[in-house]
């Protein structure tokens, strides 16, 4: 390339602006998520112990001392909500990782080995027939409740959808001439799968992962709200909302603040997901 007499630094900057202008939803969503991540990281410095309770300060309204009020045990709702950010982010990200990884492996294998396909897809159909929240509840009640079990139980019902997505991509790709060429030239099956098929699944998988993440955060909150999720001593948003259930008529703030945080977090993830979908797959973007 010939030496160009213009300010090189200016070029990428204007491209960045262009990208931001074209994808405002991704930027807004990501900014909110970054804020949540910071909140989760610095929780010990900006919030008090979420477990300490002062019976004298039961069901206090939001005030300068207790920004989000207190619950029926005199625990500071603000501190619990800040710490809850950690739990929700951990659950969302872990479930998204587990479900996508498992779905990817099963989906690629199913799409590539037709003999495996029939049996595995019947199992997936069966899993999909069971409502996600009931499946998760069933798995959690049988094992000793812990955050890890909750994550696994939420991830399992999400796997079939990922499998179907990956499988459909693999089925489309494997009929293409370049795969035939790879097979004909004696490339090993594992290499074909990892190098020639896998890259095609990345874009739709990333989009799917954001939706799985959002769904997982909502499901965790729902399970904890029902009293069948994260162990009650862990301050997750769902658990905070659950403690507010009995007293919501006189102290609605216990439900309001974690509920709003939950909605904002899910909204931000969905914005990122919608934005990614639009920019990665313009064909769908025009329709939705």
Q: Can you give the binding site for other proteins, defined by CB under 8 A?
A: 122-123, 125-127, 129-135, 137-138, 141-143, 214, 218, 221-222, 225-228, 241, 245, 248-249, 252, 255-256, 259-260, 262-264, 266-267, 270-271, 274, 287-288
Residues 6+ apart with CB under 8 A from 62: 68, 69, 253
Give least dist CB 50 to other proteins, A.
20
Cβ distance to other proteins smaller for residue 101 or 267: 267
Pair of tokens at residue 194: 């990892």
Cβ atoms of residues 77 and 71 within 8 Å: yes
Query: What CA–CA distance (Å, rounded) separates 125 from 136?
Result: 16
Query: What CA–CA distance (Å, rounded) separates 6 from 166?
Result: 45
Give least dist CB 42 to other proteins, A.
24
Cβ atoms of residues 208 and 165 within 8 Å: yes
Query: What CA–CA distance (Å, rounded) separates 180 from 175?
Result: 7
Give least dist CB 9 to other proteins, A.
37
Query: What CA–CA distance (Å, rounded) separates 100 from 107?
Result: 10
- Give the Å distances, CA to CA, from 219 to 212, 254, 256: 10, 19, 18
Cβ distance to other proteins smaller for residue 50 or 222: 222
Query: What CA–CA distance (Å, rounded) separates 177 from 263?
Result: 46
Nearest Cα to Cα of residue 86 among 243, 265, 256, 283: 265
Give least dist CB 225 to other proteins, A.
6
Cβ distance to other proteins smaller for residue 174 or 273: 273
Give least dist CB 64 to other proteins, A.
24
Cβ distance to other proteins smaller for residue 112 or 253: 253
Give least dist CB 118 to other proteins, A.
10
Give least dist CB 181 to other proteins, A.
34
Pair of tokens at residue 11: 């070029």
Query: What CA–CA distance (Å, rounded) separates 261 from 82?
Result: 9
Cβ distance to other proteins smaller for residue 44 or 131: 131
Give least dist CB 1 to other proteins, A.
42
Cβ distance to other proteins smaller for residue 68 or 225: 225
Cβ distance to other proteins smaller for residue 121 or 192: 121
In terms of Cβ atoms closer than 10 Å to its own Cβ (0-12, 13-18, 19+), residue 4 is: exposed
Cβ distance to other proteins smaller for residue 9 or 129: 129
């Amino acid at each position: 390339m010939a030496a160009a007499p213009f300010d090189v630094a200016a070029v990428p900057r204007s491209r960045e602006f262009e990208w931001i202008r074209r994808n405002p939803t991704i930027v807004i969503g990501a900014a909110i998520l970054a804020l949540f991540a910071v909140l989760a990281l610095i929780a010990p410095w900006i919030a008090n112990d979420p477990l300490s309770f002062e019976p004298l300060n039961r069901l206090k309204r939001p005030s300068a001392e207790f920004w989000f009020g207190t619950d029926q045990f005199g625990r500071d709702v603000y501190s619990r909500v800040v710490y809850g950010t950690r739990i929700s982010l951990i659950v969302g990200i872990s479930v998204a990782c587990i479900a996508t990884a498992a779905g990817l492996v099963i989906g690629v294998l199913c799409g590539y080995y037709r003999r495996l396909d029939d049996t595995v897809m019947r199992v997936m159909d069966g899993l999909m027939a069971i409502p996600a929240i009931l499946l998760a509840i069933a798995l959690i009640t049988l094992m000793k409740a812990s955050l890890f079990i909750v994550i696994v139980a939420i991830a399992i019902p999400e796997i079939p959808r990922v499998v179907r997505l990956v499988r459909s991509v693999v089925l489309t790709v494997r009929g293409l001439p370049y795969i035939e060429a790879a097979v004909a030239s004696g490339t090993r099956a594992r290499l074909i799968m990892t190098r020639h098929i896998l890259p095609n699944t990345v874009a739709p998988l990333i989009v799917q992962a954001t939706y799985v993440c959002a769904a997982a955060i909502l499901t965790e909150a729902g399970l904890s709200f029902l009293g069948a999720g994260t162990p009650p001593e862990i301050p997750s948003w769902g658990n905070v909302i659950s403690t507010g259930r009995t007293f919501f008529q006189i102290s609605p703030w216990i439900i309001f603040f974690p509920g709003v945080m939950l909605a904002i977090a899910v909204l931000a993830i969905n914005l990122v997901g919608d934005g990614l979908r639009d920019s990665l797959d313009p064909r769908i973007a025009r329709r939705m």
